[in-house]
Amino acid sequence: MSTGGHILVVFLTLTSVLFILRMVRRGQLPAKYALLWLSIAVVLIFLAAFPGVLDRTSTWLGIAYGPATFLLGAVTILFLIVVHFSWELARLDARTRVLAEELAVLRADPPNDPAHLAPRPEDQPVEP
């Protein structure tokens, strides 16, 4: 890699790390995500500082083109992260839904007829 290209890579990596660190410091990134992205950043810095490592790994894996190894790794990790986020999003959606429903039930007036005023749910016989 040319010196210029190398400097560019190091610069981009450091900028991303600083950006993540700033978000952590401002409390915008909860610890679990901060840990995730920071460990990725550490790997990136390492690779940017020692490009030879990537080439040696490629040779070892039998991949002819060094950057392809990097892209393969990146795509795999990002794919897993996105799948994880889908799962987390679905869980959040389910929880929000329950909250909305419970809120609606709590705010609703009790049944009209005072003759059969609401027995509490715990008073109900439990079904087998």
Window 66 to 95, contacts with another protein (CB under 8 A): 94
To another protein, the closest distance from the beta carbon of 110 in angstroms equals 6
Judged by CB under 8 A, which of 4, 30, 62, 110 binds another protein? 110
- The smaller minimum CB distance to another protein, of residues 72 and 100, is found at 100
- The smaller minimum CB distance to another protein, of residues 30 and 110, is found at 110
To another protein, the closest distance from the beta carbon of 108 in angstroms equals 4
To another protein, the closest distance from the beta carbon of 120 in angstroms equals 8
Nearest to 85 by CA among 45, 27, 37: 37
- Contacts with another protein by CB under 8 A lie at 94, 97, 100-105, 107-113, 116, 118-121, 123-124, 127-128
